Every structure is written in structure tokens, then in C-alpha cells.
Structure 1
């Protein structure tokens, strides 16, 4: 997926670097700089937990703007430097994740994660920001293999979504049944759960990464808890975002 996003940006050329994306105030360069920053910080969390704790303490001083400030500092170095840092960071992170004991709890801004979970989180974030870049460039990021990973993380972070909104997660389980681009059905949760979410795999992924307004999806919820969750779902660590306006995604 990284390679396909990289190729997309490379093919678009330098003139597309400052093209505005659907994320307000973010152009293509800022999106890639954000991925570079997050990959670098993820690598630090694995290789130097003490240094990462320092990053967390800085974040606590400005929880709403810290990440953007870090990405903006990288973006300011220019296209060639940003791309070089992103490539180096993602390659280094990939090697570190592969070499880390599977049972290791890696510190993060949210709950600690094992290497497999961190890899899934990076797939989610790269897909989400890559989707913004592709939308800005008038094309698509054709990586259907990423969708099941994003959806699984979106389902597993249901309780976290409630926590980030200052609410207690309902005890009732939710069954999720999603249809992928190839017609395959991806399911999560107990098959006898009365609370249910059904619909498109891609729409669910867009929703849990806050790339689409709930009204612009084909997702159907059965039960009050399922409907409430779809209104606050977030698969990413950090404070809840503002999401996207209704009708903003064609």
C-alpha cells in the first residue's frame, strides 16, 4: 500500500504537492508529512520507549495541535525531504515491527499495542490519509486488501470510541457484517448479537476513519447501541475529530 501511494504522489509530480485535500487545511504535502511523522514516532516507540514517553509528555501540553505541529515542521522542509523521510521511516518501522517479539506491548498515545496491532494501525492510517490524497488528485487508491484490516481495527476500537467521547460503552455486543468489493462478507462480533451493523466494507472503513459522513454511507444499524456507535466511531488514537460534512464525498 505504501508503494502504491508513493507511486501515486510521484506520478502526480511536484505541481500536485500543494493540492488541497478533503481534510481542511491539509494539502498533499501535509498528508505525506503526517505519515512520515507518525511512522517516525512509531519507530521511536519501539526502539526507545523512554524517548517516546517524552513525546507523550509534549503531546499532553497541546493535545489538539501537537501532531499537526510535528507534521507541519516536516512539511516545511519541502517535497524531496518529506518523501525521503517518509520512505526511510516506513522502511525502518517495517523492519522494527518484524524483529520485535510478538508479545511485546509497545507504548502509544492510546492503549499499548503489540507489533501486529501497530502494523494494523499503520495500515489504517496510511489508507485513510492515502484516500485523502487520492481524492485530491481525482483518482482512487486501489488497495482492497487493506480494507479488512481497517474494518477489524474499527470494530475492535468500539469501546475506545466511547472512552474518547466521555461515555461508557454499552454492554450489548454488536454484530458487524460487511460486503467487500469482491462480494466476500467480512464479519465481526457474535453472530447472535441483536445489535447489528451491515453494509459496505469500504463505507465502514471510511466511517471509522472519519473520511465520510454517516449519512453518506450505505451502513444500516439495528438497535440503539449500534446506531450510537456509528455516530462516534474512530479507529485512530487521539481526540475525536470533527469528521466530514454531509455530501462532501461524492
Structure 2
């Protein structure tokens, strides 16, 4: 099935659930938010607001189960959002325009390098940034490169070695789970006494980055970058400044 067809199939099922749950605001709110996310990505845009927590409370499930026997299917469907977005658009890290506005303000025009930029969704929203990726993830989860902006094909460590002397900020977004190149970058920057700021977006000791990186990293949770960046499913990714 073509990746675009997967999104369309997902939206078609969503429309049926919206009709069924029209009079249940707690469920319909989640369905509307998921629809906004998928349709925005179809247009190469970002959803305006962060997703709400998609998991339904046990009390809500118990309350509506008598009238809607498919409520557990709906919850599973909502939690399939991330996989739909990965397979349809090659997007692992889901964020909103509201969060990007926070990030733009935080960066305040500082020259930035993004490594592991994937399809460049984040880089396409930012100014004064070089986006790099080795594109080794293509065909993972049947994805393929379809960049939103120019991506320089570079291994992450090589990209850091090339640009670190000319940038103020390096963004490492959703580094692959288990690959220790993230720690190699951290050690390189420390050994070089780099004065800039390393921003890491990922799930500590979870779905992203290597165990060695999380052991070695001196993490500072960036409060203003985690207001509009909240977990919506089982992955608790956050934004850290790393020393």
C-alpha cells in the first residue's frame, strides 16, 4: 500500500469514529486533534496545537462501554497515530506549530546545526539552520526520504565536526535507539571545549538515544521548551539542554 493511501485509510476510519462519538466530547476532542495532525502533514504543514493525551481513562472506558462496545478499539486506533505518521510521512517526532514558536524564540536567531534531521520537518520551520542526515533510515517502517527542506547528506558526527566551530546551537532530534553516535558527539564537543548549546529531543532511557549517552549526559530540562511539548502517547520525549 502506498504511504499516502495509508493516511487516507486512517482518516476514513477516523471519520466513522467521529460520527459514532459525536456526542462524547472527551473522545471526539482526541479524534479531532488526531485528524488535524494527519491532515496537516498531508499538506506539509504542522498541526497548530499540541496533541492531548490520547489514552482514555479507565473510568471513561467503563462509563461508555455499555453503549459503545468498540471503545477499546478506538483507544488502540488513537495510539496508532504515531505509526501512521511514521509510515505515511517519515515523521517520528510529532510536534506542533505552537512548540516551534517556543523554539524559535528560545533560539533567538542563533546559528544552528541540526543532525539526524530526517525529512527536515523541524529544520523547514527554522531560520539560520543547516540540516544534516545520512538517510540510513530509509525503508525503515517502509519510509522513504521526502524532505521538506534541503538536507545535507552527512553522518551526524561528521556534520558536527564540520560545523561546530561556526554554530551556536546543535539540535539532536530523536537519535536512533541504541546507536552510540550520540555519545560520540557529546564527547567530541566536550573534548573540543565547545561553548555552544546542545539541545537534545528524546525519551530519557527509552525509545531514543543510547544508554551510554543517557549515562554520560548532564541533562537540564528546558522548561519553556516543554510547555507545548508534552507526551501524547506511551513515549515521553522531552527537550533537554545537555552539557
TM-based fold match above 0.5: no
Q: TM-score, normalised by structure 1?
A: 0.29
Query: Is the strand fraction higher in 1 or 2?
Result: 2
Higher helix share: 1
Between structure 1 and structure 2, the one with the greater Rg is 2
